[in-house]
Amino acid sequence: MGLIDFGTPRGSSSPNFDDVERQTPKPLSFTKSLELSSIKCHAFGRDLRFRHALGDYLLSEIDATWSDLPLMGCGYVSGLIDGLSYNAWGNFSNMHTGNTIFVALGVSGKPDSEPMLWAKALVAVTVFLVGNVFFVYGSRYLGPLRRFTLIVSFAIQTALLLGAALLVEEGIVSPSLDHQIPIDWLQVLAISLIAFQAAGQIVASRFLAFTEIPTVVLTVLICDLFVDTKLYQRPWSSNPKRNRRLGAVLSHFLGAMTAGGMAKETGLASGLWLAAALKALM
């Protein structure tokens, strides 16, 4: 006697219960939506806290304890740039004592070899003075010791050096003097960019209260070094101002030595690229 099958007949199209349940769309989970919302809120809150922390960090005043090191690096850049500038264009871009002398000599038509040297020097000195006004009042407005202010200052200096390097690299500005023309105004443009940025580093040295590291001149620095009654005091850590002055003199000298080597081996453009890279690191 055969078994009686009470199930669905063979060939029937009626789906079983498991298939129906599988095909029925499941309702959205309200609790899962709440979980996703809480995750988004948490992520937004974390991002907001990060922005506040970053803002506070940028607007806070720096600890100037070790800021003499980048200023001595600025001295190296000054020696490098002035060595390159004088070798290529016959006048200075950072140290404007020499440029002032050139302007004074121009009153009597000297020097004979470059009768228009006074004009280049005058533009460089004027742009340097304008740069001082810009960086002094800009720093005071933003807060001279704020991290954001110093970042902006050195970013501007870097951008100006990059501009001068690009002008020379692309051949727009000649890396040497042309004695057939009295003055090359494109060279004056590059000198002006360098002179303007030089004001930024000396202003930074003043606001950071390291007056013993002027970064763009050595004459007063050397005098102050020998005026110091504690010049020979030991140990070295007992007279940090003397150490900074010695470091600044050495950094200027090494920068000028580097300029001489690069002028012989690689050229003006590579020296300006190096100066821009160092300013960017600062």
pLDDT digits (tens, 9 = 90+) for 107-137: 888 888 888 899 999 999 999 999 999 999 9
Q: What is the pLDDT of residues 175-221, one digit of tens each?
A: 988 878 888 899 999 999 999 999 999 999 999 999 889 898 888 88
Q: What pLDDT score does 41 carry?
A: 64
Q: Which sign, positive or negative, has the C-alpha torsion 44, 46, 49, 53?
A: negative
Q: What is the mean pLDDT of the chain?
A: 85
151 pLDDT more than 60: yes
Residue 22: is its pLDDT beyond 60?
no
- Provide the token pair at 59: 């607007």
Q: Which residues, other chains included, contact 76 with Cβ-Cβ below 8 Å and sequence gap of 6+?
A: 251, 252, 254, 255, 258, 278
Q: Label residues 151-173 b or e (16+ Cβ within 10 Å = b).
A: ebbbebbbebbbbbbbbbbeeeb
pLDDT of residue 127: 96
pTM of the model: 0.79
Task: Give the model confidence (pLDDT) of 24-52 as tens digits.
Answer: 555 545 455 555 566 656 666 666 777 77
The pLDDT value recorded for residue 76 is: 96
Question: Where in the chain are the domains?
Answer: 33-62, 67-281
Q: How far apart are CA 62 and CA 150, in angstroms?
A: 9
Residue 260 CB coordination number (10 Å): 14
